Amino acid sequence: MNRRYLVATLALILVGALTEVWAASVGQAAPAFTATDSNNHVHKLSDYKGKFVVLEWTNRDCPFTQKHYQSGNMERLQHEWTKRGVVWLTVVSSAPGEQGYVIGGEENAYMSEMRAAPTAVLLDPTGQLGHLYDAKTTPHMFVIDRKGLLIYDGAIDDRASTDVSDIAGAKNYVVQALQEAMAGKPVTVATSRPYGCAVKYKD
């Protein structure tokens, strides 16, 4: 009985250790992932070694997401930074039956309508990628540097509202992180509290 207890305890410790190792943490290596996009193409984080990567969690039915898309703000960021070599991966972690759930064709039509320009839209209906990065809201933004280190985790900006007029005067944390990191400087604001709608996971 004691031996069984010892084995069970060690197993729990090991699981906890693995969870800690693979959890997304600023300053540490970004968790590796493999995901399928809206065109049924497979993407691995390792494919983008040597490049900056932005992960953007989205839900087109969320008013906070709509603020940034219907104003054109998110699309402008995607166009600007992908032209500068940044890989921009938009992620949909809404589960089937939940707000924001889409299939590939639907999301492609929406991205075309909005004239959005992410590198790809990753479909994550099981929430595996979302949980790996502990994505909490839509939007929730992450920035990964050329070395594969997570250098930013948090809100898109410092105006936690659905008011489009707030965008003009907002401090955009993603832009700031990319500009500073590309200039070889430390990221001034590496974490912030994400705002928006809760990611609609299946569990």
Percent of the chain having pLDDT more than 90?
87
pLDDT over 70 percentage in the chain: 89
How far is Cα 88 from Cα 168, in angstroms, rounded to an integer? 22
Domains of the chain, start order: 23-198 (3.40.30.10)
Q: In this structure, are residues 192 and 158 in contact, taking their beta carbons and an 8 Å threshold?
A: yes
pLDDT band at 24; cut points 50, 70, 90: confident
CA distances from residue 143 to 25, 136, 149, 160 in whole angstroms, order as listed: 11, 15, 8, 19
User: What are 107-162's pLDDT values in tens digits?
Assistant: 999 999 999 999 999 999 999 999 999 999 999 999 999 999 999 999 999 999 99
Position 50, amino acid:
G
Short-list 162, 190, 192, 154, CA closest to 55: 154
Q: How confident is the model at residue 22 (pLDDT cuts 50, 70, 90)?
A: low
Q: What SS3 class is residue 54?
A: strand
Q: 3-class SS at 144?
A: strand
Whether pTM > 0.85 for this model: the answer is: yes
With a CB cutoff of 8 Å and minimum separation 6, the contacts of 53 are 30, 45, 86, 87, 88, 89, 143, 144
Mean pLDDT, range 72-80, rounded to an integer? 98
* Residues 39 and 104: beta-carbon distance below 8 Å: yes
CB-CB contact of 150 with 30 (8 Å): yes
Helices then strands, counting H and E runs in the chain, come out as 6, 9
Distance CA 48, CA 130 (A): 19
Per-residue model confidence as pLDDT tens digits over 35-63: 999 999 999 999 999 999 999 999 999 99
Measure the CA–CA gap between 123 and 97, rounded to whole angstroms. 14
User: Model confidence over 6-15: pLDDT tens digits?
Assistant: 433 333 333 3
**43: Cβ contacts below 8 Å, ≥ 6 apart:** 34, 35, 36, 37, 89, 120, 122
